[in-house]
């Protein structure tokens, strides 16, 4: 397994120390071929969909880890992934059968072929180690599947019980048939008596687990059919760095006694005094396992409801020995026994007290578990360094004895065998730190080399296949006996000579009196041998012909296959070229994808920054809106108060002004009524213009008509009297004059395109300034105008052009502005005397066809009416500048 990391190691100075000379055993171990420790990884499924994970399986051998801080903050651009490579990675959807086929199936084959193997599961607590090793009722684990395959392979070659008996020193001895029968009888008596280990097993066994059945196990090929086999199991646990036998028949004692680890004559480590139970079926083996499982220490923690508080080791030992020449009995020789062992180790999960919150006994258990796992890591690390150290440098001393688990399996690391490890991973983001430590340990373990086991097969010089041949011979003999053949009982055939021409020549003497008879017997024997030889030769010729035909067919097939191979090579070359082109395209696309990913990450960062700025702007706008609403409410309240106050004051002043104006208008109406009566009198002579009604009333009586924005001036009508002679003589209007104030400065306000009057009499204003539009108050007060004249033209009811001159005084105001007080209105009309119904056409021609402009009617309207006609806005009695 390789990990991608950015750490740089500082080179260390190495002091060379001469290495001690190797012993014969060490030299043999060094010279043997070595295999690395096979490390597999299995990923547990997530318990809930809401769990986050920083682990990703790239392919069947590679897995990557992502730090949790990058996942929580979504820093994809700066993500740093650590990659690990295993022999095989089992994803969360892998089945128990997939794990067994890839990991444990080769170990069972080694067991049948006489080789030792070690398999242990490693990982944090709650990662699925026990589930992988033992499984449950629905999904069987590695251990029961190993038993299924083993018993399916040796089912027809098992020896009777107690033929092999443990000698309590990690070895076995072979009992005779009589001794084995006595042992079986004694076991039967104990079973009926209800005492001992068997009674305890029947009492405490779980029938549901014991009665599990495998799903079509396939036997292992390559078994030696001439051997007898027996299976022995042991179940021990290492709790608080002490070894306990879970199958021990403790009797009255309720607590188990700790065991010690010793070394046998073959330098193999074993637990002294451990109970080895011989099993003949899978159900019996599972009953024994369940008996020990009930004694195993289990505990409840925060991370796992059923947490293993100890390391458990389930050993399956296969004992095999060759049979005799007949293939019926085991050879009574202890040195011909071959013992192979498969150790299934379920290591306790490493855990941190900060997460589990353990106290008291649980805290002590966790400390012992972590110490033993740390010792295992240290031993493997020292072993790797020693293997990588050049020859001539003293190796490090490996502390196997610091922990029971390393002391027990010392012979695997320093001796022979195959070691495999399954790293169980919980992909939750909370277990990221523990998973990192597990990955580092797996990375280091994969670099350790273990010597390959090469068991010595005992060769007694017996014929291979003798056991099967003897079995077939017995079946044929039984068939002959059933058929009633009398000679069947006298047949005695040596299995080793089944394929010979016959028995040896009988002994004879030529000088005996029975020599002639012996010669006849020899002749018959030779004839039989010749006949048998002919049959064998004819059979051989037939087989040779068949073999020759087979060879010809094979040659024909070979030629055809060569032709097909040539065509397939051409196709393969095309496909390889096409694959190369596709690989190049894939490489180009991958580079473009990387560029796009970088661009995408940049755009995402920009979007994130812009989003942040937008949020800030929105917050500022929201804050300003709140402040604006507050100010608006504040000013609205003040404005309402001020408006109410001003309205009340204005209404008071308005009422006063109306009262004054009504009083003035009443006086004026009275005066006008008197003037009207005078004018309408028939005896009143024609008065000249200098004695007009306005002069009679006087300036004081006329009064200045001041424009008010809120008041309305009643209409005052003044009628000028035109005296026209009845008999065609034109009379002049003695009251008409062009201007009363020739010495004043006038401001004439007329339309931009006035309609030409086409008359002789035109209004004349001396010292005037004409404007068409007033936009500023300075135009009214700038040149010192004291009089204002507004010229308005419009059509009357008859369709004639009517020109009205609105005259007034320009009065400065206190605020620096000015106001116009209108006091006179002149109306100029162009009329034809021909169309007049009340006048006759003049007799003289002086005025014929000449329109006279006469001021017939003078109408004083309100200031608002005048302002609306000339598009002026006039403020009365204002201290500020008036807008006109």
Q: At what angle do helices 432-445 and 361-388 cross, to 10 degrees?
A: 30
Contact, 162 vs 180, CB < 8 A?
yes
- pLDDT one-digit tens code per residue, 123-167: 888 888 999 999 988 889 999 999 999 999 998 899 999 999 998
Three-class secondary structure assignment of 738-768: CCCCCCCCEEEECCCCCCCCCCCCCCCCCCE
Q: Which of 50-54, 292-296, 620-624 has the highest mean pLDDT?
A: 620-624
| pLDDT at residue 275 greater than cutoff 90 | yes
Q: Residue 868 annotated as binding?
A: no
Closest CA to 68 of 508, 431, 504, 500: 431
Closest CA to 362 of 375, 349, 377: 349
pLDDT at res. 883: 33
Q: Residue 498 annotated as binding?
A: no
> If you average pLDDT over residues 874-880, what whole number do you get?
35
Q: Which residues make beta-bridge pairs with 822?
A: 705, 808
Average per-residue pLDDT for the chain: 76
| pLDDT at residue 692 greater than cutoff 80 | no
pLDDT at res. 51: 77
Q: Among 195-204, 577-586, 676-685, 701-710, where is mean pLDDT lowest?
A: 701-710
pLDDT at res. 846: 36
392 conformational bin, left if phi > 0, alpha if psi -120 to 50, beta if neither: left
User: Alpha carbon of 196 to those of 204, 248, 883: distances in Å?
Assistant: 13, 10, 126
Q: Among 80-84, 583-587, 601-605, where is mean pLDDT lowest?
A: 80-84
Q: Residue 703 annotated as binding?
A: no
Tokens 């990884």 correspond to 41
Q: Residue 124 annotated as binding?
A: yes
pLDDT at res. 611: 94
- The pLDDT confidence band at residue 356, using thresholds 50, 70 and 90, is low
Strand 38-43 relative to strand 88-90, pairing: parallel
Separation of alpha carbons 427 and 56, rounded Å: 9
- The pLDDT confidence band at residue 452, using thresholds 50, 70 and 90, is confident
pLDDT at res. 121: 93
pLDDT at res. 415: 82
Separation of alpha carbons 340 and 572, rounded Å: 46
Separation of alpha carbons 667 and 665, rounded Å: 5
Closest CA to 341 of 40, 33, 37, 112: 112
Comparing 520 with 622, which gets the higher pLDDT?
622
Q: Among 523-532, 612-621, 799-808, 866-875, where is mean pLDDT lowest?
A: 866-875
Phi, psi (5° rounding) for residue 737? -145, 155
pLDDT at res. 761: 64
- Where are the domains positioned within the chain? 35-451, 466-497, 704-869
CA 622 to chain centre: 35
Tokens 């894939």 correspond to 586
Separation of alpha carbons 225 and 464, rounded Å: 9
Comparing 92 with 502, which gets the higher pLDDT?
92
Separation of alpha carbons 667 and 444, rounded Å: 124
- The pLDDT confidence band at residue 760, using thresholds 50, 70 and 90, is low
> If you average pLDDT over residues 728-733, what whole number do you get?
39
pLDDT at res. 725: 40
DSSP secondary structure code for residue 46 in this structure: P
| pLDDT at residue 22 greater than cutoff 70 | no
| pLDDT at residue 173 greater than cutoff 80 | yes
CA angle 547, 552, 554 (to 5 degrees): 90
- The pLDDT confidence band at residue 300, using thresholds 50, 70 and 90, is very low
Closest CA to 862 of 710, 669, 673: 710
Q: Which two tokens stand for residue 179?
A: 């001794």
CA 810 to chain centre: 86
| pLDDT at residue 696 greater than cutoff 80 | no
| pLDDT at residue 806 greater than cutoff 80 | yes
| pLDDT at residue 206 greater than cutoff 50 | no
pLDDT at res. 255: 76
Separation of alpha carbons 337 and 320, rounded Å: 6
Separation of alpha carbons 52 and 483, rounded Å: 76
pLDDT at res. 387: 86
* Cα first-last separation, the chain: 97
Sequential DSSP letters for 52-117: -B-EEE-SSSEEEE--HHHHHHT--TT---EEEE-SEEE-TT--HHHHIIIIIHHHHHHHHTT--E
pTM: 0.54
Contact, 438 vs 373, CB < 8 A?
no
Q: Residue 881 annotated as binding?
A: no
> By percentage, how much of the chain surpasses pLDDT 70?
71
Beta strands in 750-880 (DSSP E): 768-771, 787-795, 801-812, 818-831, 852-854, 857-860
Tokens 């097969």 correspond to 457
- pLDDT one-digit tens code per residue, 498-556: 444 555 666 666 666 667 777 887 888 788 778 878 877 887 888 889 889 989 998 99
- The pLDDT confidence band at residue 13, using thresholds 50, 70 and 90, is very low
Separation of alpha carbons 720 and 651, rounded Å: 39
CATH-assigned architecture of domain 35-451 = 3-Layer(aba) Sandwich (3.40)
Q: Residue 273 annotated as binding?
A: no
Q: Residue 853 annotated as binding?
A: no
Separation of alpha carbons 231 and 137, rounded Å: 24
Closest CA to 757 of 668, 686, 830, 811: 830
Comparing 35-451 with 704-869, is the CATH topology the same? no
Q: Residue 310 annotated as binding?
A: no
Q: Which of 47-51, 387-391, 477-481, 655-659 has the highest mean pLDDT?
A: 655-659
Closest CA to 325 of 114, 466, 481: 466
Q: Which two tokens stand for residue 480?
A: 């002959």
Cβ neighbours of residue 339 closer than 8 Å, sequence gap 6 or more: 171, 172, 317, 318, 319
| pLDDT at residue 865 greater than cutoff 90 | no
Separation of alpha carbons 737 and 757, rounded Å: 18
CATH topology of domain 704-869: Immunoglobulin-like (2.60.40)
Cβ neighbours of residue 504 closer than 8 Å, sequence gap 6 or more: none
Q: Which residues make beta-bridge pairs with 41?
A: 89, 423
- pLDDT one-digit tens code per residue, 227-255: 999 999 999 999 888 999 999 886 545 67
- The pLDDT confidence band at residue 882, using thresholds 50, 70 and 90, is very low
| pLDDT at residue 9 greater than cutoff 70 | no
The 10 Å CB-count burial string (b at 16+, else e) for 495-513 is beeeeeeeeeeeeeeeeee
pLDDT at res. 30: 55
Contact, 861 vs 874, CB < 8 A?
no
Separation of alpha carbons 373 and 266, rounded Å: 27
């Amino acid at each position: 397994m390789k990990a991608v990391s950015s750490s740089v190691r500082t080179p260390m100075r190495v002091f060379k120390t001469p290495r001690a000379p190797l012993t014969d055993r060490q030299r043999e171990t060094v010279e043997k071929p070595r295999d690395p420790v096979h490390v597999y990884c299995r990923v547990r499924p997530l318990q809930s969909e809401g769990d986050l994970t920083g682990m990703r399986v790239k392919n069947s051998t590679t897995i990557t880890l992502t730090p949790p801080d990058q996942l929580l903050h979504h820093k994809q651009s700066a993500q740093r992934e650590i990659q690990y490579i295993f022999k095989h990675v089992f994803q969360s959807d892998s089945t128990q059968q997939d794990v067994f086929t890839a990991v444990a199936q080769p170990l069972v084959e080694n067991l049948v072929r006489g080789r030792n193997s070690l398999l242990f599961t490693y990982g944090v607590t709650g990662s699925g180690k026990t589930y992988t090793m033992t499984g449950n009722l629905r999904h069987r684990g590695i251990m029961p599947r190993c038993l299924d395959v083993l018993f399916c392979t040796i089912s027809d070659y098992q020896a009777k019980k107690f033929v092999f008996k443990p000698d309590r020193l990690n070895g076995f001895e072979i009992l005779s048939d009589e001794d084995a029968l006595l042992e079986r009888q004694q076991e039967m008596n104990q079973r009926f008596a209800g005492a001992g280990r068997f009674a305890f097993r029947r009492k405490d066994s779980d029938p549901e687990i014991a009665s599990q059945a495998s799903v079509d196990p396939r036997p292992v090929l390559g078994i030696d059919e001439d051997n007898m086999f027996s299976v022995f199991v042991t179940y021990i646990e290492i709790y608080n760095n002490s070894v306990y036998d879970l199958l021990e028949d403790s009797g009255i004692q309720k607590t188990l006694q700790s065991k010690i680890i010793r070394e046998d004559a073959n330098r193999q480590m074993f637990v002294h005094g451990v109970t080895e139970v011989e099993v003949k079926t899978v159900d019996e083996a599972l009953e024994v396992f369940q008996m020990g499982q009930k004694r195993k220490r289990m505990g409840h923690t925060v991370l796992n409801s059923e947490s293993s508080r100890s390391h458990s080791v389930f050993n399956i030992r296969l004992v095999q020995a060759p049979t005799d020449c007949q293939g019926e009995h085991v050879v009574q020789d202890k040195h011909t026994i071959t013992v192979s062992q498969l150790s299934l180790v379920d290591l306790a999960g490493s855990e941190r007290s900060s997460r589990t919150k353990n106290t008291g006994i649980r805290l002590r258990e966790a400390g012992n578990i972590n110490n033993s796992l740390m010792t295992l890591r240290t031993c493997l690390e020292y072993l790797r360094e020693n293997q990588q150290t050049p020859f001539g440098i003293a190796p490090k001393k490996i502390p196997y004895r610091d922990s029971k688990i390393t002391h027990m399996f010392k012979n695997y690391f320093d001796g022979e065998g195959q070691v495999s490890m399954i790293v169980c991973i919980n992909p939750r983001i909370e277990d990221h730190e523990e998973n990192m430590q597990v990955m580092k340990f797996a990375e280091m373990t994969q670099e350790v080399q273990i010597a390959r086991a090469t068991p010595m097969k005992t060769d007694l010089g017996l014929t291979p296949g003798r056991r099967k041949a003897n079995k077939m011979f017995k079946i044929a003999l039984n068939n002959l006996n059933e058929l009633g053949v009398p000679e069947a009982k006298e047949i005695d055939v040596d299995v080793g000579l089944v394929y010979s021409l016959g028995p040896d020549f009988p002994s004879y003497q030529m000088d005996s009196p029975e020599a002639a008879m012996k010669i006849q017997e020899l002749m018959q024997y030779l004839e039989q041998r010749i006949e048998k030889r002919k049959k064998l030769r004819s059979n051989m010729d037939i087989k040779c012909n068949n073999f020759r035909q087979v060879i010809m067919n094979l040659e024909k097939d070979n030629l055809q296959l060569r032709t097909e191979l040539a065509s397939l090579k051409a196709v393969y070359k095309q496909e390889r070229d096409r694959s190369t082109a596709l690989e190049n395209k894939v490489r180009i696309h991958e580079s473009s994808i990387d560029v796009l990913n970088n661009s995408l990450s940049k755009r995402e960062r920009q979007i994130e920054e812009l989003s942040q700025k937008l949020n800030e702007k929105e917050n500022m706008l929201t804050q300003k809106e709140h402040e604006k609403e507050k100010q608006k409410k504040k000013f609205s309240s003040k404005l309402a108060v001020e408006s109410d106050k001003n309205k009340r004051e204005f209404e008071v002043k308005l009422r006063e002004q109306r009262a004054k104006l009504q009083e003035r208008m009443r006086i004026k109406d009275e005066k006008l009524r008197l003037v009207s009566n005078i004018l309408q009198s028939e005896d009143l002579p024609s008065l000249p213009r200098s004695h007009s009604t306005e002069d009679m009333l006087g300036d004081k009586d006329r009064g200045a008509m001041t424009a008010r924005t809120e008041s309305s001036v009643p209409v005052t009508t003044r009628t000028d009297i035109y005296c026209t002679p009845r008999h065609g003589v034109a009379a002049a209007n003695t009251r008409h004059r062009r201007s009363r104030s020739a010495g004043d400065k006038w401001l004439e306000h007329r339309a931009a395109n006035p309609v030409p009057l086409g008359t002789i009499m035109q209004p004349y204003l001396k010292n005037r300034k004409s404007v068409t539009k007033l936009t500023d108050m300075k135009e009214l007060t700038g040149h010192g105008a004291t009089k204002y004249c507004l010229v308005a033209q419009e059509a009357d009811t008859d369709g004639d052009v009517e020109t009205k001159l609105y005259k007034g005084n320009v009065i400065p105001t206190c605020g620096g502005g000015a106001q116009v007080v209108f006091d006179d209105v002149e109306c100029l009309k162009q009329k034809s005397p021909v169309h007049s119904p009340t006048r006759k056409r003049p007799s003289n021609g002086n005025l014929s066809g000449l329109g006279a402009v006469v001021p017939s009617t003078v109408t004083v309207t309100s200031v608002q009416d005048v302002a609306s006609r000339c598009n002026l806005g006039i403020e009365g009695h204002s201290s500020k500048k008036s807008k006109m």
